Amino acid sequence: MTRNPILAAVAVILLSAAAAAAPVPAYVKAAVGDAARPAEDTARDAARKPAEMLVFAGIKPGMHVMT
């Protein structure tokens, strides 16, 4: 019964390590650094790591994530 939470924790650690190792493409840096982003969002970037999250999610130019 305690095995599932342990496996989940290990999976999260491995996935986050893989995401941290991926280089951030220029188009992601440009999107995150866009001056049109609200100040509230950019203030939270250090904690939320939006560039790394976009890379991890596989978001590419031209994709529609949310409309």
pLDDT tens column, 1-28: 567 888 888 878 877 666 566 799 999 9
* Structural domain includes residue 67: no
Residue at 65 is within a domain: no
Examine residue 64 and state whether it is found in any structural domain, yes or no: no
- In a 13 Å sphere around the CA of 54, the CA atoms on its Cβ side amount to 20
pLDDT digits (tens, 9 = 90+) for 46-63: 999 999 999 999 999 999
Which residue range forms the structural domain that includes residue 11?
3-57
pTM of the model as a whole: 0.63
Q: Would 42 be classed as within a structural domain?
A: yes
Cα separation values, 40 from 11, 28, 36, 46, 47, Å: 31, 19, 11, 12, 12
When divided into structural domains, the chain yields a total of: 1
Is residue 63 one of the residues assigned to a domain? no
